[in-house]
A and B are shown apart, each in its own frame.
Chain A
Amino acid sequence: MSLSPALVGVTFGQIVLVGLVAALGIYVFALRSVLTDRLAMLLLAAVGVLLVVWPGLSSDVAELLGIGRGTDLVFYLFIIFCLFRFVSGAAHTRRLESRLASVVREQALRNARPAAAAGSSEANEAPQA
C-alpha cells in the first residue's frame, strides 16, 4: 500500500526523506543548540530501542512510506544521523577554534613589542600603556 502522490516516479517516502534532510539543514543553521542536539540524540536512541523490541516496525513504516524494505529505511535514517553528527561536530570544532583564537590573541597582545622598542634588547618586551 503505497501513498505515492500524483507526481510521476516520486514516492511519498522520497519526499519524506528529502524533507528530513531539508529540515536538518534548517535545524543546523537556525535552531541548533547543545541542548537540542542532546535531545535529538536521546530521541534517536529511543527510535533505535523501538526498532529492536519491535522488529517488524521498520518494514511496516517503510512499506507505508513506499520505500521498500525496512533495511533501506534504517539505512537512510542512519545517513541522516551521520550528517547530523558531522554537523554538530563541525560546530563544536568551530567554537573551540574561536576560543583558541581568543587565547592566542590575548597572549600576542600582552607580549607585543612596541615599535619604539626596536633595536633595544629583546628582553625589553613590556608593552607600552
Chain B
Amino acid sequence: MGPLDQTCVVVPAYNEAEIIGSVVDGLLKRGCEVVVVDDGSADGTYEACLGYRASLLRHACNLGQGAALKTGLTYALTHVRPRYLVTFDADGQHRPEDVDALVAALADGAHDIALGTRFARKADAAAVPSGRRLLLRAATIFSRVSSGLPVTDAHNGLRAFTAEAAAQLDLAQSGMAHASEILTLIRRKKLRWCEVPVSIDYSEYSRRKGQRGLGAINILWDMMTGRLR
C-alpha cells in the first residue's frame, strides 16, 4: 500500500477525445483513482472514457477549466474520499510517474500542497519552447506579485493536495485564472506548500491544444472582474 492507493487524480477535459484514453490509462496503471470531468466537450471525450475504470462526470455546457476542477474535486472529496488529490491536465503534457513525486512530498505530513514546476531542473526548463518560455516567465512574475508566493512556475496544471487542503480551496474562478486563485488561497489560508520538479511533454498535440499567449489577457480580465461586487 503506497500513497498512490490513497490518491485520486482529477482530470478536467475539454475536447480531448483523441488523447484522453491514453492519459486515463496511464494514471490508472499507477494504481490511483481517477476522476474525469468532461467540460461540455463536443468531440466525444466522455464516450472515449467509458471503457476505463475511472469516475466520469459531464458538464452540460462548457464552463472552463477552473469550474471543471471544482466539480472534480467536489466529487472526489464526497464520493472517492482519498487522502491525497492531484490535478492533472488531459492533453498528455504531464507524466503519470510525476504524480508519485508530488504525493510523496505530502506523505511525510510537512506540506499541504505540492505544486509541479517545470523550471526546477535544467532539462525540464530547456524543453520549454522559446515562445512559451517568455510568456511563462512573465506569468510567473505576475503570479508572484499578485499572490505573494515565491513560486517558480505559475500555470502548471500538475498539483497535489491533502484532502484537508483541497476542502479549503473554494475556487470561484471558472476559467484559467484559477491557477492564480489557488496561489492566493494558499497564502490566505496559510497552507504549507512546496514545489516539486515535473517534466512537461510538449508534443505537437499539446502545443496545438495549449493556451495562446493572448489568453493571458483573459486571465487578467477574469482576475479583475472576479473582484467586482
**A residues whose Cβ falls under 8 Å from a Cβ of B:** 28-33, 87, 90-91, 94, 97-98, 100-101, 104-105, 107-109, 111-116, 118-119, 122, 127-128
B229, A29: Cβ atoms closer than 8 Å? yes
How many angstroms from the CA of A124 to the CA of B222 in the assembled complex? Answer: 38
29 contacts between A and B (CB under 8 A): A28-B228, A29-B228, A31-B229, A32-B228, A33-B229, A87-B228, A90-B225, A90-B228, A91-B229, A98-B174, A100-B61, A100-B63, A101-B67, A101-B174, A104-B60, A104-B61, A104-B63, A104-B67, A105-B71, A108-B59, A108-B60, A112-B79, A113-B50, A113-B55, A115-B33, A115-B34, A115-B53, A115-B55, A122-B50
Question: Which A-chain residue is minimally distant from B62 (CB atoms)?
Answer: A104
Tell me the minimal C-beta distance from A123 to chain B in angstroms: 12
Q: Mark B56-83, 1 if CB is under 8 A from A, else 0.
A: 1111110100010011001100111000
B229, A108: Cβ atoms closer than 8 Å? no
* Given A112-B56, A114-B55, A94:B225 Cβ within 8 A: yes
- Which chain B positions have C-beta within 8 A of A97? 174
- Which chain A positions have C-beta within 8 A of B37? 108
Tell me the minimal C-beta distance from A114 to chain B in angstroms: 6
B228, A105: Cβ atoms closer than 8 Å? no
A101, B55: Cβ atoms closer than 8 Å? no
B150 at the interface (CB under 8 A from A): no
- Which chain A positions have C-beta within 8 A of B71? 105, 108-109
A105, B229: Cβ atoms closer than 8 Å? no
B52 at the interface (CB under 8 A from A): yes
A30, B53: Cβ atoms closer than 8 Å? no
- Which chain A positions have C-beta within 8 A of B58? 108, 111
How many angstroms from the CA of A104 to the CA of B50 in the assembled complex? Answer: 20
Categorize the interface residue count of chain B: 20 to 34
B54 at the interface (CB under 8 A from A): yes
* Given A105-B67, A107-B60, A109-B57, A32:B79 Cβ within 8 A: no
Q: Mark B200-229, 1 if CB is under 8 A from A, else 0.
A: 000000000000000000000000011111
Question: Which B-chain residue is minimally distant from A88 (CB atoms)?
Answer: B228
How many angstroms from the CA of A107 to the CA of B60 in the assembled complex? Answer: 8
B172 at the interface (CB under 8 A from A): yes
* Given A112-B79, A114-B55, A94:B228 Cβ within 8 A: yes
B51 at the interface (CB under 8 A from A): yes
B55, A109: Cβ atoms closer than 8 Å? no
Question: Which B-chain residue is minimally distant from A118 (CB atoms)?
Answer: B53
- Which chain B positions have C-beta within 8 A of A87? 228
Question: Which A-chain residue is minimally distant from B52 (CB atoms)?
Answer: A118
How many angstroms from the CA of A74 to the CA of B213 in the assembled complex? Answer: 39
Most chain B CB inside 10 Å of its own CB: which residue of A32, A114, A119: A114
How many angstroms from the CA of A112 to the CA of B49 in the assembled complex? Answer: 13
A118, B50: Cβ atoms closer than 8 Å? yes
How many angstroms from the CA of A8 to the CA of B211 in the assembled complex? Answer: 47
Most chain B CB inside 10 Å of its own CB: which residue of A87, A104, A107, A127: A104
